Structure 1
Amino acid sequence: MTTTSEARSPSPAHGERPPRPARDGLSAAIAVALGLSLVYAAGQVLFWAAPEPTAHSPWLKLFLLPEPLPFRLTRVLVPAGWGLAVLLGLGLLLARSHAAPLPERAFRACGFGILGALLLPFSIMPLAAVADRLPQVLLCLPGTAAALFLVHRVQLYRRMPGRLLLAGFGWGALVGGGFGLVMITWLQRTVPGHFTSTVPEHPLDGVRTLYTLFPLGTAVMTELGKAAGVAVLFLLFRRHIDGVVSGAVLGAAVGLGFNLTETVHYLGLISPDHHPTQFWDRQVVGLLTVHAAFTALAGAGIGAARWLAGRRDRLLAVGGGLAAAVGGHAETDVVLMHLDGLRADWYPNDVLGLLIGVPVMTVITSGAFVAACVLVLHRGLRAQAAGTARALAAEAAGGHGAVTGPEVALLLSPRRRLLLELRVWRRDGIAGLRHLQGFQQAQLDLAVQRWHRQRPGVDSAVPSEERLRARVHAFKGSPDPAPTARKALS
């Protein structure tokens, strides 16, 4: 899908590019990455401090499997990344101590170097899983790509750049997926000792507690890793993440990436006889109803915080979205374990239990959270439609020529725009379709940014209307009439 910033059609005269991330946004993104590193360090400390398990339940062996090689490699690379980040940080501090200000390009290079040093080591386990199970990856990619396209099209009006959506998907597949796998491995090797040694005379009570609370720990770790991706991309590209719709869409893309990594990982752990069951559960029924929905709620909270003036309100929005994601994940895992044991009693044979039982259990466990995600998207789209309609009408009345009166009704109707896209595609092919999509997205971008300028909490991430109009006129192939009009008025 081509969006405003991706179009290869005639470019604006001034060569507009997406705004570069501000220094405070890059610094805040580094702070989020440091937070993930601190959580990882806490997991390692708990591992070192964990006593030996006192119970000998056969179920406990599932938590004490040998460390896989990619995990051991991650244990080496994460501290190495910390060391590289410290060196780059010291270089920044030394550069700032000089009288001359540090050039923007050098600051960004060091800042993104620190981000890479802190985050890339977490991608070792997903990359190893992909390399070992390439056929399974290829099997999962078509459905995942279709879901990602559908998520992108949920943005009925102004859409974020497709490459930003792919960046979110990449975060979920590599960084979020790797952080989740690493932290779950730490939990598996740490909590048995803590839980089974607390009541030595009844160690099996600790095992039961372990199986009750372990899903909560995994939910917290995985949702933190996924939500951190939405937060980092928001801080770096906040112009494109301007509300609950874009936040939820980006969160869903992160969740789809994580779901791909998790599916491939578990397919490598189980017998090939169970691969169809896992594929149906994770890549069909659960594709848009589990991880994608949970992280969409966290992303919606981050997007909603964009326009909240008070710090407390922003924290409540972000914390509420994250709490919904963690709660949905933990509730789904806990309830699903109990329901899965009853599936054989509910359905006479395995085929019905798979084709009907899995969807029913998914509705029971995560249906409420999926419904909440749909409701948030619906309300966000309604608010976006109302604000865009006012801005388009004002832009058409201004006489700048970027948006005309007859175009307003078309731009506000997703159905009419889709029909027009199909007609242009049949008549002019892909090139004509890309031009039309880029042109209409440029007009919607102009309207949405004009609407944002009237909202409280507007910041420098909102580009100037003149630059956006110039881009629209470049697609129209006509000069901007505004300078001529101003000259006539003077």
Structure 2
Amino acid sequence: MTVAVSRPARPLRAFLGAGAIGVLLLVAMAITSVANVRSHGAPQWTGWFGLVAGALALAGGVYGLRAVREPTRRSSHLRRALLLFGLGLFGWLVVMDVFTYLLLAGPEVALAAALACVPTTGLALLAVRWLDRYDSQPWPYLLAALIWGALAATLLVSLSETLWQMANYDLVPGQPLEISIAFMAGSNEEVAKGVAVFLLYLVLRERFQGVVAGIVYGAAVGIGFNFLETMTYIAHLYYLFSGLVPDPKAGPAWVGPLAAGVAQWFIRQILGMFLGHPTYTALIGAGIGAAAVLPKRHQRFLSILGGLLLAVAAHFSWDAWASLFPTSSSNALLLLISIPARNVLMTGPFTVVVLLVLVMGLEVEGAGLRRQLEQEVAAAGGAVGAEEVPVLLSAWRRLDSRYAAFALRGWRAYSRLSQLQTAQLRLARLKWQRQQQGRPADAESEAAGRSRILELRQALAAED
């Protein structure tokens, strides 16, 4: 099947950069995994499991090098490299995240925590996907972003926070230590998630263009990170509170293991689902997405740095609340007021910033796509008709036209029309993005896109 547009060629430095980051990431995860597994007295099988995972990742690296050295077979070598490296990476993640973090409280608690987080996480991902009204991102890509945020970013955070704490306890005694620890979570977690978003950009460069796509993928990484962090807190607090003896003096204020777990779920999966990690990482994604279409290097650098600094500031403001407004856990009423206020007052303004950037990005994107679609209408090549332009620029009208096709001619007509509209928008997006970047038109990709549109139009007409 002919694709709508050809993928932009990646320069050699992109492969080398991705390989270098992948090696550093694997080394970081290996160190963290070994340290945590040893500290928790893991069984012997985890060591062998880790060795096999490391061997797979190393084999993936070998194929990655062969992809660089043999351009004629680059695609096949890259597929093998990604498969082997992904399997190795997943092996380390299983040892680290599943065993080390979740099974201390028992597999039943870990499973219950996961099942409790799945519905809220799924709804959040669905809402984030809906934000990109001109070209919804493919589900496999969004799920990859979510899984990457849940597994890879959490491991980077574990390593960076361990090193940070070691350096601070040795070098920053007294009051500066408290300030440093307060700043640690915001900086370490956002940098770790930022690395995950940037790696996604390297892999999905043809989809990761503009602030809208950046916000969507950044938020997906944050949702994944929030998923595993919630599970970790639930399992950890359940484990801690299970070892405590109920205090008769506390009375109704006593918090048992189940109540502690439910409270964490509510704080992180309800209050903090959007007023939390998804907001922070969406700021990073917006910076990277904007950089993807900026023409000058210093503009791209400032865009990425600005998004990262905003994310760190947003996260730090949330952590600073505990120091500004300390609340005793024995005062239930004050806690009920303080916890939502923390999310709304500290993270809420940054969520508003994300929404404003999203709205402005959609307006700019819509105007650019309209110009390109109208140019296709004027060219009279059959790729876009004048009556199709307002439909293509409205998510609701596209959906309505697809349901009308389904009602009249069935599922195949719905699918054909959906593919046709997607191909038309992607052709317009290709032309608009190259114009934004100050690059010449890609005649070959545009021709392939028009050919694909005409092919789909004929297939749709055959459904009549």
Which TM-score applies when normalising by structure 2?
0.80
**Structure-2 separation of matches of 1:388 and 1:470:** 19
Name structure 2 gaps, 5 residues minimum: 238-256
Q: Assess if the C-alpha contact under 8 Å between 1:123 and 1:178 holds in 2.
A: no
**Structure-2 separation of matches of 1:138 and 1:148:** 16
Deviations along 1:164-204, whole A, 9 cap, x unmatched? 1111111011111232234435545x256315xx55xxxxx
**Seq. identity, %:** 29
Match of 1:125 in 2: 96
> Counterpart of 1:103 in 2: which secondary structure?
helix
* Alignment counterpart, residue 340 of structure 2, candidates 359, 366, 389: 359
Q: Does 1:327 align with 2:313?
A: yes
Structure with greater helix percent: 2
Q: Assess if the C-alpha contact under 8 Å between 1:25 and 1:236 holds in 2.
A: no
* Alignment counterpart, residue 444 of structure 1, candidates 401, 425, 447: 425
Name structure 1 gaps, 5 residues minimum: 1-11, 48-63, 200-204, 481-490
Q: How far off is 1:159 after superposition?
A: 2.5
Q: Assess if the C-alpha contact under 8 Å between 2:416 and 2:460 holds in 1.
A: no
Q: How far off is 1:364 after superposition?
A: 1.4
Do the aligned partners of residues 162 and 289 (structure 1) sit closer, same or farther apart at CA in structure 2, a change above 3 Å counting?
Answer: same
Q: Assess if the C-alpha contact under 8 Å between 1:301 and 1:322 holds in 2.
A: yes
Q: How far off is 1:246 after superposition?
A: 0.3
Greater RCO (Cα-Cα under 8 Å, separation 6 or more): 1
Do the aligned partners of residues 147 and 101 (structure 1) sit closer, same or farther apart at CA in structure 2, a change above 3 Å counting?
Answer: closer
Match of 2:73 in 1: 103
Q: Does 1:19 align with 2:2?
A: no
Deviations along 1:236-278, whole A, 9 cap, x unmatched? 2211111011011100000000000000000001122212211
Deviations along 1:28-87, whole A, 9 cap, x unmatched? 22233345457679999xx9xxxxxxxxxxxxxxxx999335799999988987787667
* Alignment counterpart, residue 351 of structure 2, candidates 370, 373, 377: 370
One-letter code of the match for 1:223?
E
Deviations along 1:91-120, whole A, 9 cap, x unmatched? 7668977xx756213541465368548854
Paired residues for 1:189-228 under 5 Å: 190-191=166-167, 193-194=169-170, 205=174, 208-228=175-195
Q: Does 1:261 align with 2:228?
A: yes
Q: How far off is 1:436 after superposition?
A: 3.6
One-letter code of the match for 1:108?
L
One-letter code of the match for 2:433?
H
Shifted more, 25-34 versus 262-271: the winner is: 25-34
Match of 1:284 in 2: 270
> Counterpart of 1:165 in 2: which secondary structure?
helix
Q: Assess if the C-alpha contact under 8 Å between 1:122 and 1:179 holds in 2.
A: no
> Counterpart of 2:270 in 1: which secondary structure?
helix
Q: Does 1:112 align with 2:97?
A: no
Do the aligned partners of residues 155 and 15 (structure 1) sit closer, same or farther apart at CA in structure 2, a change above 3 Å counting?
Answer: closer
> Counterpart of 1:464 in 2: which secondary structure?
helix
* Alignment counterpart, residue 212 of structure 2, candidates 245, 251, 276: 245
**Structure-2 separation of matches of 1:364 and 1:82:** 45
Q: Assess if the C-alpha contact under 8 Å between 1:299 and 1:321 holds in 2.
A: yes
Q: Assess if the C-alpha contact under 8 Å between 2:57 and 2:89 holds in 1.
A: no
Q: How far off is 1:302 after superposition?
A: 0.7
Q: Assess if the C-alpha contact under 8 Å between 2:68 and 2:74 holds in 1.
A: no
> Counterpart of 2:132 in 1: which secondary structure?
coil
Match of 2:157 in 1: 180
Q: How far off is 1:321 after superposition?
A: 0.9
Number of aligned residues: 433
Q: What RMSD, in angstroms, separates the aligned Cα atoms of the two structures?
A: 3.9
> Counterpart of 2:236 in 1: which secondary structure?
coil
Q: Assess if the C-alpha contact under 8 Å between 1:36 and 1:225 holds in 2.
A: no
Do the aligned partners of residues 73 and 297 (structure 1) sit closer, same or farther apart at CA in structure 2, a change above 3 Å counting?
Answer: farther
Do the aligned partners of residues 406 and 85 (structure 1) sit closer, same or farther apart at CA in structure 2, a change above 3 Å counting?
Answer: same
Q: Assess if the C-alpha contact under 8 Å between 2:28 and 2:156 holds in 1.
A: no
Do the aligned partners of residues 41 and 175 (structure 1) sit closer, same or farther apart at CA in structure 2, a change above 3 Å counting?
Answer: closer
Deviations along 1:344-400, whole A, 9 cap, x unmatched? 77xxx53x743x542222111111211111111111111101100101111111112
> Counterpart of 2:430 in 1: which secondary structure?
helix
**Structure-2 separation of matches of 1:72 and 1:291:** 35
Q: Assess if the C-alpha contact under 8 Å between 2:218 and 2:278 holds in 1.
A: yes
Q: Does 1:68 align with 2:40?
A: yes
Q: Assess if the C-alpha contact under 8 Å between 1:71 and 1:182 holds in 2.
A: no
**Structure-1 separation of matches of 2:149 and 2:440:** 28
Q: Assess if the C-alpha contact under 8 Å between 2:283 and 2:307 holds in 1.
A: yes
Q: Does 1:163 align with 2:140?
A: yes
**Structure-1 separation of matches of 2:195 and 2:50:** 17
One-letter code of the match for 1:379?
M
Match of 2:282 in 1: 296
**Structure-2 separation of matches of 1:395 and 1:424:** 24
* Alignment counterpart, residue 364 of structure 2, candidates 383, 386, 393: 383
Q: How far off is 1:337 after superposition?
A: 5.0
Do the aligned partners of residues 91 and 291 (structure 1) sit closer, same or farther apart at CA in structure 2, a change above 3 Å counting?
Answer: closer
Q: Assess if the C-alpha contact under 8 Å between 1:239 and 1:461 holds in 2.
A: no
One-letter code of the match for 2:169?
G
**Structure-2 separation of matches of 1:166 and 1:461:** 30
**Structure-1 separation of matches of 2:87 and 2:320:** 35
Q: Assess if the C-alpha contact under 8 Å between 1:124 and 1:178 holds in 2.
A: no
Q: How far off is 1:230 after superposition?
A: 1.6
Q: Assess if the C-alpha contact under 8 Å between 1:33 and 1:119 holds in 2.
A: no
One-letter code of the match for 2:132?
Q
Q: How far off is 1:158 after superposition?
A: 2.0
Q: Does 1:312 align with 2:308?
A: no
**Structure-2 separation of matches of 1:71 and 1:209:** 39
Q: How far off is 1:220 after superposition?
A: 2.3
**Structure-2 separation of matches of 1:396 and 1:284:** 46
Deviations along 1:414-434, whole A, 9 cap, x unmatched? 332344455556666765544
Match of 2:451 in 1: 470
Q: Assess if the C-alpha contact under 8 Å between 2:5 and 2:427 holds in 1.
A: no
